[in-house]
Amino acid sequence: MKRIEDYTNKQVLVLGLAKSGYGASTVLHELGAIVTVNDKQSLEGNELAEQLKEKGITIISGHHPIEILDEGIELVVKNPGIPYSNPMLVAAAERNIPIITEVELAYRISEAPMIGITGSNGKTTTTTLVFNMLEEAKKKPLIAGNIGTVACEVACDAKEDNVIVTELSSFQLMGAQMFQPKISILLNIFEAHLDYHGSLDEYAAAKGNVFRQQLADDFAVYNIDDERVAMLAKNSNATLVPFSTQRVVEDGAYIYEGALYFKEEKVIAIADIVLPGKHNLQNILAAICTVKLMGVDNEAIARILTTFAGVKHRTQYVTTIQGRKFYNDSKATNTLATQAALSAFAQPVILLAGGLDRGNGFDDLLPYLSGVKGMITYGQTASKLEALGSAAGIQHVQVVDTVETAVEAAYQLSADGDVILLSPACASWDQFKTFEERGDMFIQAVHKLV
């Protein structure tokens, strides 16, 4: 960790505890900052809060008293999930107090270069692929961000010969000021998190922050097939490295005659890749660009791509029961992800979908429902999705209360050779704390069928 003096005796407010707040508070304390943690939930008896108290860090919980800001606070480090409309953040902005997220802190203290990976869909798969390929090539990667350990905690232990592979959300990037990854990746931009960002333009701008501070000796890996991504990349000062599933791109990665290429070099035949789904070819091309820039050879890349079958909750194969294959795609929290999942299967599909109602429609799923023989819906969006199924002419559409009952209903409806797919097209927060919890419930329910 760089022993920078920027935070020595600086009054810092960490807004929101959780894992990122705990990590940021600990690092700032070690760097000599005077840290106060504020969380709107009561932290009475909270183990992480108790550990911070033992270090001498002040904990204020149960509400957000604005007056904290008038006690010399010079910086706010916020939990990524807290929107900028939060009264504490509005008040901080009015007082011209800088607001960052812990990823920014991680960059400032890291001795290792960072790879920043973002996009509406495919971040976790791409991050995992990049990490695995670098590890296979003995490049000493570390993994951080949404997929792993809090970035600033990883940065504490990183050395100059490491590289930190970081999955980044729009929430984290919105607070980026100095963050300058050596290699950035922007996979795609799709309408998502508008309840947080307010508009698609604001959301895209947050994603584009992954490029903002890069210079000519850095690299911006981007999806040239996505118009919004391509426009953002053009504003980058980094060396541009495109990838495409639709055309040959001389300076990047592409598909040609049934194989994946980087520049003019054949890397691997598509037939040898075990990760299912056309959408994953984008993720693989992005990963190939990144690791080739890091000096990874084709043999190491091929060893990963011929064995890597996917990430949990991302079109994850669960099991086969009486000829029915079950797939857990709980990470599909928007329609683009569900489109990709549906496109991955040629077999008849029974789709399980539903969750938090963010006010959006689902009509853009219509062209992808031709192979769906049955649809089981649940959660706040159950009636919307039921209407969608009827409009698509799906013969069997059923509304149930929970994911568990959806699994039972789907199994009763299915036949030998069918795919039963959980791909909700919605966030999970109406019934679950996380999409992981939703996916685990699906897996448990599937195994109860045996």
Largest pairwise CA distance in the chain: 67
119 is in an annotated binding site: yes
What residues contact 231, with CB distance under 8 A and at least 6 apart?
A: none
Q: Which two tokens stand for residue 442?
A: 């699906």
Burial class (CB in 10 A: 0-12, 13-18, 19+), 193: buried
Is there a contact between 116 and 166 (Cβ–Cβ < 8 Å)? yes
- Closest listed residue to residue 440, CA positions, set 388, 403, 413: 403
SS3 327: strand
162 is in an annotated binding site: no
125 is in an annotated binding site: yes
- Closest listed residue to residue 184, CA positions, set 156, 205, 165: 165
For CA atoms 271, 273, 277, 278, give the dihedral sign.
negative
Query: Phi and psi of 254, rounded to 5°?
Result: -160, 175
Residue 121 burial (CB count, 10 A): 26
Is there a contact between 392 and 363 (Cβ–Cβ < 8 Å)? no
- Long-range contacts, 242-247 (Cβ 8 Å, 24+): 243/282, 243/285, 243/286, 243/288, 243/289, 244/285, 245/278, 245/281, 245/282, 245/285
SS3 307: coil
Reported as half-sphere exposure (CB side, CA atoms, 13 A), residue 111 has a value of 10
123 is in an annotated binding site: yes
Angstrom distance (rounded) from CA 110 to CA 327: 38
292 is in an annotated binding site: no
Q: From the annotation, which residues make up the binding site?
A: 119-125
Q: From the annotation, which residues make up the binding site for ATP?
A: 119-125
